[in-house]
Amino acid sequence: MASQIPDGHVGNLTAEQEAKLRELWQTVFKLYDILQEHSQKKAAAPAAPSIESPKKSRFGLFGGWKAAEAPAAPAIPEEALKLIACDEEDKFGLVKQFQQVVATQSPESLRAMVLGSVKHEHPDALALRFLRARKWDVNRALVMMFSAMNWRHNEAKVDADIMANGEEVLVNDEEKGEVKSKALARDFMKQIRTGKSFIHGTDRQNRPISYVRVRLHRASDQSVESLERYTTYLIETARLALNPPVETATLIFDLSSFTLANMDYVPVKFIIKCFEANYPESLGAILIHNAPWVFKGIWKVISAWLDPVVAAKVHFTYGRKDLEEFIHPSQIIKELGGDEDWDYVYEEPVPGENDAMKDTAARDVLQKAREDLAAQFEATTKQWIANPTGAKATELKAKRESIAAQLRENFWKLDKYVRCRSLYDRQGNIRPGQRTIWYPEAAEKNAVDSAVPGVTTIEQIENAPLAAAAQVTA
């Protein structure tokens, strides 16, 4: 089945949706300007006089010490406060996180957050995820967008730590790391070696499939930190496996042989937050497969935590027949009763596979080129905002698409210098700048049509230039 571009995605926007996209970018640029002006005012203002801390008294209440006054919260520019929309459904505290971002980050750091989050995707694809998740409310989308980026860059340190210190680093830490790093590495590698969860193949909509074998999970087997790192690592890796115009993945929770000993609400809550707050609009479908009767009460609890949009993507399946509605029989793995003769086997890192990461000079050249392209994209987008219709708009749209394609090409050139190779790189699934493949050639031809217009064979897919792949965003 050919991948069709869904409504509200890059390449399939109504005039109203395109206007909302322009408005969101305009608001992002306005936020940059507000923070720039605020930082200049702070720099020009005279330093505040130092205030001596109040002396501690031994004669406070109950003879104890008086509590020290809490430091004042960082000032938030008044103009930035106007961008914050009231959100009665803010169950993850996104408004508070956004306020923290505005109070502590510079325009340069926000730009770096956006550029780092884009990766190999079109920048508009990133913005549209948040717009769709917030029902095209621009201010709510802005709050969600920068709250997610703050988590990504400053809390989880996804690119600087999790992806940069991947499998080869963790294998080394297992043997030579200090106590904490050794424990984290051991827990992480145990999960990936056993195949507790993994990515393999695609469904009928060409979405990559992530499998979770719930029977292999025990809460006591790993720390919460390790489990969250592993979950984030798989989500990020799945992003790299997306073939345009596909932007979502399918998640299968295999509950075969499930018992109450496998139940753990902590990772469930983390996964929910990931897909509702930090990676919105990234799930195409959730299949809960072969759930036993004991799961009924558990599901009642979990379903109450889900956003209705996410809950609507959940399907309970039993046996091969139900799976065939979502996955072609030839692509259902034999473990689940399908025809694909494939088993998960972990391949250990190869010594030297990340040697390119030592070449910081080459990395810096590519990173500088990426920043220059991002500046061009911002400048061109500002022009597009000012000229939304007519021949000028058409010209500017084409220029934006060209820059987006160059950003994608640059990402794949830079990738080997900043990201540790994964199992999916070693197996040849993820191929820089080319279509991700999961099946032998004959099966691959049968499995999917090309996601690139005019490309219909596996040979054409493999040889299609990046510029052609970018045409789906036009």
Q: Is 122 exposed, middle or buried (0-12, 13-18, 19+ CB in 10 A)?
A: buried
Domain ranges of the chain: 1-34+77-155, 174-336, 361-473
CATH of domain 174-336: 3.40.525.10
Half-sphere exposure (Cβ direction) of 165: Cα atoms closer than 13 Å: 17
- Average pLDDT value for residue range 409-436: 97
| 385-408 CB burial, b ≥16 within 10 A, e <16 | beeeeeeebeebbebbbbbbbbbb
Closest residue by Cα to residue 288 from 249, 339, 251: 251
Which whole number is the average pLDDT over 351-364? 98
Amino acid at 88: E
- How many whole angstroms separate alpha carbon 236 and alpha carbon 211? 15
pLDDT of residue 382: 98
For every residue of 117-171, DSSP letters joined together read: HHTTS-HHHHHHHHHHHTTT-HHHHHHHHHHHHHIIIIIS-IIIIIITT-HHHHH
Mean pLDDT across the stretch 338-355? 97
Under the banding of pLDDT at 50, 70 and 90, the label for residue 87 is low
Token representation of residue 389: 């219709």
Q: From the CA atom positions of the chain, what is the Rg in Å?
A: 24
Give the number of C-alpha atoms closer than 13 A to the C-alpha of residue 207, restricted to the C-beta side.
Answer: 23
How large is the average pLDDT for residues 240-269? 96
List Cβ neighbours of 314 (8 Å cut-off, separation of 6 or more). Answer: 286, 288, 303, 306
**DSSP-derived 3-state class of residue 251:** strand
pLDDT at 103 over 60: yes
DSSP codes of every residue in 352-383: TTTGGGG-HHHHHHHHHHHHHHHHHHHHHHHH
Q: What percent of the chain has pLDDT over 70?
A: 81
Tokens representing 362 are 């080459």
Rounded Cα distance between 329 and 201, Å, is 12
pLDDT bucket at 172, cuts 50 / 70 / 90: very high
Q: Which contiguous run of DSSP H or E holds residue 451?
A: none
Which among 165, 140, 136, 144 has a CA at the least distance from the CA of 273? 144
- pLDDT level of residue 91 (50, 70, 90 thresholds): low
pLDDT at 70 over 50: no
The residue that leads in pLDDT, 440 or 165, is 165
pTM: 0.85
